[in-house]
Structure 1
Amino acid sequence: MKPLNLVLNVLWLILCGFWMAIGYAIAGIICCVLIITIPFGIAALRIAAYVLWPFGRTTRERDDAGAASCVGNVIWLVVAGWWLALGHLLTSIALAVTIIGIPFAWANLKMIPVSLMPLGREIVPTDQPFGAR
C-alpha cells in the first residue's frame, strides 16, 4: 500500500468511514436475518468493508452481471439504497465545510452510485487494469 493511501485511509476511518461502515453493516445484518434477502446482506457487508478502507480500491461492473442483478438493484434502491446514499450525501456536506474534509467529501459523493446499486459490482485495486481479473 502506498503511504499516501495509508494516510488517507486512516483519516477517512476517523472522519467518516467508521460511521458509514456501521450503516452498511446494520443494513447487511438486517438483510441476512430476513433469510430471503441474504444476497443483499452479503453485498452490504462487502461494501461496508470497502467503505472502511476505500483509498487504493475502486468498484467496477462485473462482466457476468445479468438481469437478476438489475432486478435486485431496483429492490435494493427502494428498500435500503436511498437511505445509504442519503447518508453519504449528508456526510459529504458536513465534510465539505472544513478544508481538510473536501477530498473526503468528494470520495463520499463517488460512493453514492455503489450505495444505490451494489449488485453486479466488484471491488478491485485501483492499479489493476480495467479488464484484468
Structure 2
Amino acid sequence: MKTILNVLWLVLCGLWMAIGYAVAGIICCLLIITIPFGIASFRMADYALWPFGRTVIRRPEADAASTVGNIIWIVVAGIWLAIGHLATGAALCITIIGIPLGIASFKMIPISLVPLGAQIVSTSDPRVAY
C-alpha cells in the first residue's frame, strides 16, 4: 500500500516539493556558513520524494546551535516551504483519493519549519516508538 501511495505522491506533488527543497539546498550551499542548512534541505528533498514508510524523529543530541539554526531557517526558507506543503495538502484534500496524501503533506510542515536536530528514519526503526 505504501508503494502505491508513494507513487501517487511522487506524481501529484512529491516531485515539485523536492525541487523546492533542492533549490533551497543549492542556495544554502553557496555560502560556507549555510552548508548545514543545504544538507538538511537535501535530506528533506529525499523525504519529500518518497515519504510513506518513513517518519521524522528528533535527535536527542540536538543542542542550542540547532535551535538557533532552526530560527534562521524559518525566516530564510522554512516559512515558504511550509506554505508550499499547506497549499499542496489543501489541494490534495479536495478529492477522496488525495486525502491521505494531503494529510501526509500537512505532517511534513513541522520538518519543513525546523529541520535541524531531526532525523528521517524508517517506520520500522525501533526509535520511532520512543
What TM-score, normalized to structure 2? Answer: 0.96
Report deviation, 1:34. Answer: 2.2
2:55 is matched with: 58
Deviation by residue 1:61-114 (Cα, 9 ceiling, x = unmatched): 001100100000000011110000000000011111111111100000000000
Which of 7, 16, 21 aligns to 1:10? It is 7
2:85 is matched with: 88
Report deviation, 1:131. Answer: 6.5
Q: Secondary structure at the match of 1:39?
A: helix
Percent same amino acid among aligned pairs? 67
What do you get for the CA RMSD once the two structures are aligned?
1.1
1:28 is matched with: 25
Q: Secondary structure at the match of 1:64?
A: coil
Q: Is 1:127 the equivalent of 2:129?
A: no
In structure 1, the gaps of 5 or more residues are none
Cα 1:105–1:131 shift into 2, 3 Å? closer
In structure 2, the gaps of 5 or more residues are none
Which of 45, 49, 57 aligns to 1:48? It is 45
Report deviation, 1:36. Answer: 1.6
In 2: Cα distance, 1:131 partner to 1:125 partner: 8
Moved over 6 A (4+): none
2:75 is matched with: 78
In 1: Cα distance, 2:104 partner to 2:121 partner: 16
Q: Is 1:110 the equivalent of 2:107?
A: yes
In 2: Cα distance, 1:111 partner to 1:98 partner: 19
